[in-house]
Structure 1
Amino acid sequence: MKQISSINPFSGETLDTYEAFDLTALDSTLAAADQAQKMWQTTELSTRASVLRSLAKQLKAQRDTLARTATLEMGKTLASARAEVDKCAWACEYYADNGPAMLQSETVPSDDDAERIICYQPLGLVLAIMPWNFPYWQVFRFLAPALMAGNGAILKHASNVPGCAMAIEAICRDANVPENLFRSLLVSSKDADRLIEHPLIKAVTFTGSTNAGRKIASTAGKCLKKTVLELGGSDPYLVLDDADIELAVEKCVTSRLLNNGQSCIAAKRFIVHDSLYGEFASAMAAAMNKKRVGDPLLEDTDIGPQAKQDLCDELTRQVNETIRLGAVLVSGGQSEGATYWPTVLGEVRPGMPAFDEELFGPVAALIRARDENEAISLANQSAFGLGSAVFTRDAARGRRVALALEAGACAVNDFVKSEPAMPFGGIKASGYGRELGPFGIREFTNIKAMLLR
């Protein structure tokens, strides 16, 4: 039987080994899950809400153990890992409290004697192909609404976080989620197509790279299966000429360094008005240099390693190539093992990796803009469209610029973050569909129109 190893990216130590899922058992496993889902969809909404509250309770009770597993497997700091588990519990509670109302049938007004109703029915088994960077949150922000809607869920998690994948399955058992309604299958990425194509899988949700998203969408499209894709981002943060510099630096640095810089919605490109550029660059470099880099298991560590050595190597390549093309290294730029120090690149322009590509690590790309219009143009000059932000003291101006930015989310005088009540997703090469909020729970339902006479 093939083994899957869990490796600590900070120490290089092998943490554990797991048996890969035996694909010869796929038909029987999915048949059992399908049967469990068919029973689940007949349950009352109040019953489903009760199970979600039980999930939240278990997440809170096992918070420290879950957090340590995530820190060991992918290198996020303990504080970040604890916050992630808390957020998962929040999502479960949010859908337990609000999901039933979101799924209530709606009556459409009419001027004849017919009754027109819109109802939301589950699709069946939904396959979730999830990444390593938020190994719990990425799963639960899908799982909570999917279960509330009456669906079943099959998880194919990233291969470097098998411990987190199995911990989620264990949490579901502890919370009395019906047996087989949620299964975590340890299979390789090359075997994902077999899961997508299986007739008992009715839809697919994926979070990850744009290139992988294209492949998954292609496979699912051939089978005419619904997909939701949350892909890469190169989020622009605009610092206009009337911005509060201290606030802008605080929010921008916080966003850029989220999760060791490994977040799709982290700030990536900082488009700064000429008049503030020098002050902003100095202040950002100073703030980045204050961050403590080291062992993510230590409570005072701010920045841990990248999740894998090859990710650190790719980040190094992108930074070096950006500098070769004319950018300036303002601060940082060094690495050790899989750890990359917080880095600020100045004078970044279109055509450089730091502008055109997603830099999935603690590297800030500073870009000059002569005025508001050029800042907006530079922001939108990207294949991506996930998050964005604008900093200005003028509320009306902030709203106007936010509306002009091509992204699925925009913050004014703050950084973008996901939360249960707000829709989350992108446009362009950042994907399509929405998670969270009422939109997220309805993505994997049959929105059925009924005409009754």
Structure 2
Amino acid sequence: MITTINPADGTTLATYQAMTPAQIEQAVVQGSAAAAAWGRTPVENRLEALTRLAGHLRSESARLAALITAEMGKPIKEAEGEIEKSAVTAEYYAANGGAILADEEVPVDGVRAWVAYEPVGLVLAVMPWNFPAWQVFRFAVPTLAAGNGVLLKHSPNVTGFALELEKVFVEAGFGEHLVTTLVVDEPEVPATIEGLIADDRIAAVTLTGSNRAGAAVGAAAGRASKRSVLELGGSDAFVVLADADLEAAAAAAVRARFANSGQSCVCAKRFIVEAAVADEFIDRFVLGVKALAVGDPTDREVAVGPLARDDLRAVLQRQVDESVAAGAVLVAGGGNIDGPGYYFEPTVLTGTAPGMPAFDEETFGPLAAVAVAADVEEAITLANATQYGLGLSIWTGSPSRGVEVARQITSGAAFVNAVVASDPRLPFGGTKRSGYGRELAAVGIREFTNTRTYWVA
């Protein structure tokens, strides 16, 4: 049995019966057949379905957002934004998928040659709880546009929403079994996922989640010689140079760290500031953090809700305590908020450095680590002092200088004078221990296609 809990008050929401092995087998059989039929459907028909999906998401936004907030505690305005972003992504691929997937003629003397992007079949997706809709749609929309089917294993604490997702696709006019949600008992997940990856009816696998889970899925995909995309942890640097607009940078830093209550792989986590402006930046940043409204995520004025699970608070508390013991200075927050629900104070540590958990580890919650760099060269060194490489944000009065600095720091994306974000028009993914492969844009829709060469004499 799987039980979902409201993290705002700790009450039980619902209980679900896990699937039996026979039911999982049936889901694979039906999903494989549906994917094969969908792959034979003309591209224009597949893209029309995406337009219907966008409209359906908007018509159901209030209901779907409320379920996200209930199951994982996301502030309601952010939950609504997640649904809207998913609808925008469906519209992007409806408008552009045809051109991206079109055959590409290659000039070769005496023959006709071209490259085609053809569907691969049924794709397994292992998805996390922190963006219950967006994480799924940013993978599923281009994957379906390419002609594939989806077998979804979502996080257990958002099981209700995962089951709703399956209905959403059917209600939008996609075929039965084209998107199937698996409800798997937690102790059985590793063996079940490994078995599915090895199954010849599964063409590829994608995972967004922890490095431990990513290592297991990547290894299983390697043994099966199957394509995989991994979007894993992050410890993004937010670099503030001495010539930056500090008011804008500090305001952006608050948004960059505490969106989704800090529970995002692409949240800024390490704030690296040149010494010449460190005091002023820290003062502005801390004032902004202390002004954040914390509380009931259904309240539209609340900016920071609860963490999704109680065990996440314990991890965050350890990271704070061990960092302080190693020399970091606690200047805001620092612990649990008394009362029902899984709330943690928006927290800022200064004086952090490599060797401290708040700097070295991924911090998944409302905890910001500030480090001071003597100059630009040390800022670059500190930004690179991580095992992760997902996003990077640089703040400077000279955009060209920001790009020059960004080229010296390893990441999957670099934003200058802007907060790191995903956009359907641009590839999204990481380097180093943040994973490999890309979602979104042209490369995202082609990740799960067979790039096939044709040569006709």
TM-score normalized by the length of structure 2: 0.97
Mapped pair 1:99 → 2:100: no
State the AA in 2 paired with 1:47: N
Q: Show the counterpart of 1:239.
A: 240
Q: How does 1:170-181 map to 2 (within 5 A)?
A: 170-181=167-178
Question: Conserved in 1, the CA contact under 8 Å of 2:269 and 2:368?
Answer: yes
Q: How does 1:418-437 map to 2 (within 5 A)?
A: 418-437=422-441
Q: Show the counterpart of 2:445.
A: 441
Aligned mates of 2:16, 2:63 — CA distance in 1:
18
Q: Residue 116 of structure 1: which of 113, 116, 119 is its match?
A: 113
Q: Show the counterpart of 2:230.
A: 229
Aligned mates of 1:9, 1:219 — CA distance in 2:
33
Q: Show the counterpart of 1:4.
A: 2
Question: Conserved in 1, the CA contact under 8 Å of 2:259 and 2:303?
Answer: no
Q: Show the counterpart of 1:342.
A: 346
Aligned mates of 1:52, 1:383 — CA distance in 2:
37
Q: Show the counterpart of 1:329.
A: 330
Percent of residue pairs identical: 46
Deviation at 1:197, TM superposition (A): 2.1
Deviation at 1:410, TM superposition (A): 0.8
Aligned mates of 1:114, 1:358 — CA distance in 2:
53
Q: Show the counterpart of 1:141.
A: 138
Q: Show the counterpart of 2:254.
A: 253
Q: Show the counterpart of 2:161.
A: 164
Deviation at 1:194, TM superposition (A): 2.4
Mapped pair 1:380 → 2:381: no
Deviation at 1:396, TM superposition (A): 1.5
The one-character-per-residue Cα deviations of 1:301-355 (angstroms, maximum 9, x if unpaired) are: 1110100000111001101100000000011112125211111100001000011
Q: Show the counterpart of 1:367.
A: 371
Aligned mates of 2:124, 2:61 — CA distance in 1:
25
Aligned mates of 2:131, 2:248 — CA distance in 1:
26
Mapped pair 1:308 → 2:309: yes
State the AA in 1 paired with 2:425: A
Aligned mates of 1:283, 1:28 — CA distance in 2:
57
TM-score normalized by the length of structure 1: 0.98
Aligned mates of 1:170, 1:148 — CA distance in 2:
18
Q: Show the counterpart of 2:205.
A: 204
State the AA in 2 paired with 1:385: G
Across the two proteins, how many residue pairs are aligned to each other?
450
Deviation at 1:409, TM superposition (A): 0.4
SS of corresponding position for 1:117? strand
Deviation at 1:16, TM superposition (A): 0.8
The one-character-per-residue Cα deviations of 1:176-200 (angstroms, maximum 9, x if unpaired) are: 1111111001113333222222221
Q: Show the counterpart of 1:390.
A: 394
Aligned mates of 2:219, 2:361 — CA distance in 1:
22
Q: Show the counterpart of 2:403.
A: 399
SS of corresponding position for 2:389? coil
Structure 1 gaps of 5+ residues are none
Question: Conserved in 1, the CA contact under 8 Å of 2:24 and 2:182?
Answer: no
SS of corresponding position for 1:203? strand
SS of corresponding position for 1:224? coil
Q: Show the counterpart of 2:17.
A: 19
Question: Conserved in 1, the CA contact under 8 Å of 2:9 and 2:342?
Answer: no
Deviation at 1:25, TM superposition (A): 2.4
Superposed CA RMSD in Å reads: 0.9
The one-character-per-residue Cα deviations of 1:104-148 (angstroms, maximum 9, x if unpaired) are: 0101123x2122211000110000000000000000001100110
Q: Show the counterpart of 1:293.
A: 294
Q: Show the counterpart of 1:132.
A: 129
SS of corresponding position for 1:417? coil
State the AA in 2 paired with 1:151: N
SS of corresponding position for 2:57? helix
Aligned mates of 1:59, 1:412 — CA distance in 2:
32
SS of corresponding position for 1:257? helix
Deviation at 1:428, TM superposition (A): 0.2
Q: Show the counterpart of 1:272.
A: 273
Aligned mates of 2:72, 2:174 — CA distance in 1:
27
Q: Show the counterpart of 2:179.
A: 182
Q: Residue 412 of structure 2: which of 408, 415, 420 is its match?
A: 408
